[in-house]
Structure 1
Amino acid sequence: MADGLSVPTARFFIDENEKIATGSSKDKLNVVSVHMPRSENDLDIELVKKVVEEHGITQPILVDNEHKITDVFENQYVPAYYVFDAEGKLRHFQAGGSGMKMLEKRVNRVLEENEKTQQ
């Protein structure tokens, strides 16, 4: 790929993550992306910065070159999505690129429940 990312569909998921991060609930939602290197090219911080800039990514990105977060979550999938509630409880895990509508529903459900508890 032109951007040098090892995952062929990475461009699509980068754009989808940005839609979630900047959607209508952005003031109620914290999105953090974790870059999990899958090849030698993925270790290149300057390449990661270039892709972030090219895609206009606004959410924080943690570069997990040593796979510390990857190991804690025992993650083997790209992409992988973890949805936590306001108390830090894991509410949804989704691996792979299908089911973006399901992910959106889960995020919205957690946000709605959070609003109810704050009222």
Structure 2
Amino acid sequence: MGSKGRIPPPHLRRPLPGPGMVHSDPFGLGIPLHPGPFAHFDMLPPPEIKEQKLVAQLVEMQRLGTENQRIAATHGTLRQELAVAQHELQILHAQIGAITSEREQKNEEPYGINS
């Protein structure tokens, strides 16, 4: 959605000064100041361009919404899989503990004979 690397539309472009030409405004490119709080009518883009931008933004918002739903569903699935894996890990730790204590008990008995 950024405008990096894009060329501004023709109505916003100004011709580059030729050799030896100097801008009359030392603080900028000579963009005229408008007297009121709103932009001058000549500086506004045509309605067709505004409509194209709005349509493009709507398409982008719909794409982002769909992608967000997909990511949310994937996130839910991954959380469930993590819960299952953690439960399996707890069971394995319990089994390892039981096997370890069983081996320790056998090693404590003299000559491995049960009493």
Q: TM-score range by the shorter chain?
A: under 0.3
Richer in helix (by share): 2
Specify the structure having the higher radius of gyration (Cα): 2
Higher relative contact order (Cα pairs below 8 Å, separated by 6+ residues):
1
What is the TM-score normalised by the length of structure 2?
0.24
What is the TM-score normalised by the length of structure 1?
0.24
